[in-house]
Amino acid sequence: MATPLTPDALARALRAEGVRMREHGNWRTYNRNHKGAWGPVHGVMLHHTAGTNSLDLCRRGTPDLPGPLCIGLIAKDGTVHLVGYGRTNHAGSGSTAVLDAVRTEKALPSRPGPDAVDGNARFYGFEIENLGNGRDAYPAAQLDAVERLSAALCRAHGWSGSSVVAHKEWTRRKIDPSFSMPVMRSRVTARLGSAAPGGGSSAYVSFPGAEFFAIGRRSALFTAVGRRLVKEGCGRYAVGPGPTWSEADRASYAAWQYKLGHRGAAADGVPGLSSWNRLRVPRS
């Protein structure tokens, strides 16, 4: 389980994974949190819309089911439209056994149990534009976006591909999405395995996710990161580096991002996958 990412951390994680995004209105603060807490979260839940031109529906919902109906809508061209953030009306009640399997990253039960748990509080929810009739195709760009956004959230939280679940696997009431979830989980697992290790070598520390680098957090890893930044000529420390992630660490990492050619928001001092892999922090 995990504390949900902040909206900015989510956006950074998606960008780092190569997800093409469009942000709509006040998506960062638009949610159903007044109906109950969102989190801790255990995974990513995927849906299909069963319709077309679903952007307004996903954002506004219906009189019987107010929006937002998801965090993001994945369009046919692979664009992820961010429409809300927090508790959204996407999952409804579902199986305790499924939640336990996702939480422990074990195999899902062959069939969901009775609806007993509020999934809106426990999952990131994403809708995929598709009629769901078995004839409407999922273009390659759309499936690539599903893979990337799922991997981005798993990477940020340190989850495996087992943390990605379908609505149809959550409850007996649903059939979405209408593609093979074992295949999609295999794609997510392959992406996590090929991209996560630093430069693809076990000699280096895997990217722990942007959310790991919170000001005031303590970890021996931060000392190792600081030493690499100093070696690269990017250290901005009056004292240190040390085991507590600080503004000096963030300034030093921003200098590293700038050295790599990043500018503006891409050089904000928050580690991303690409810059992390090039830093090559050695395992202790």
Asked if 189 and 161 count as a contact pair (C-beta separation under 8 A), the reply is yes
pLDDT at res. 203? 67
Give the architecture (CATH level 2) of 7-196: 3-Layer(aba) Sandwich (3.40)
**Residue 115 pairs with which residues in a beta bridge?**
95
Token readout for 64 is: 């019987």
- Cα 11 to Cα 32: distance, rounded to the nearest angstrom: 20
| Tens digit of each residue's pLDDT (9 = 90 or more) over 239-270 | 989 999 999 999 999 999 999 888 888 899 99
| Tens digit of each residue's pLDDT (9 = 90 or more) over 146-191 | 999 999 998 888 788 899 999 999 999 999 999 999 999 999 988 8
Q: How confident is the model at residue 200 (pLDDT cuts 50, 70, 90)?
A: very low
**By C-alpha distance, which of 185, 104, 198, 102 is closest to 151?**
185
**Mean pLDDT along residues 203-224:** 86
**Mean pLDDT along residues 102-124:** 94
**Mean pLDDT along residues 1-15:** 89
pLDDT at res. 198? 35
Asked if 236 and 252 count as a contact pair (C-beta separation under 8 A), the reply is yes
**Mean pLDDT along residues 34-62:** 96
pLDDT at res. 158? 77
Q: How confident is the model at residue 105 (pLDDT cuts 50, 70, 90)?
A: confident
pLDDT at res. 284? 65
Average pLDDT over all residues of the chain: 91
Q: Where are the domains of the chain?
A: 7-196, 201-279
pLDDT at 199 over 70: no
Q: How confident is the model at residue 194 (pLDDT cuts 50, 70, 90)?
A: low
- Cα 92 to Cα 167: distance, rounded to the nearest angstrom: 9
pLDDT at 195 over 70: no
φ/ψ of 125, rounded to 5, equals -115, 135
pLDDT at 196 over 60: no
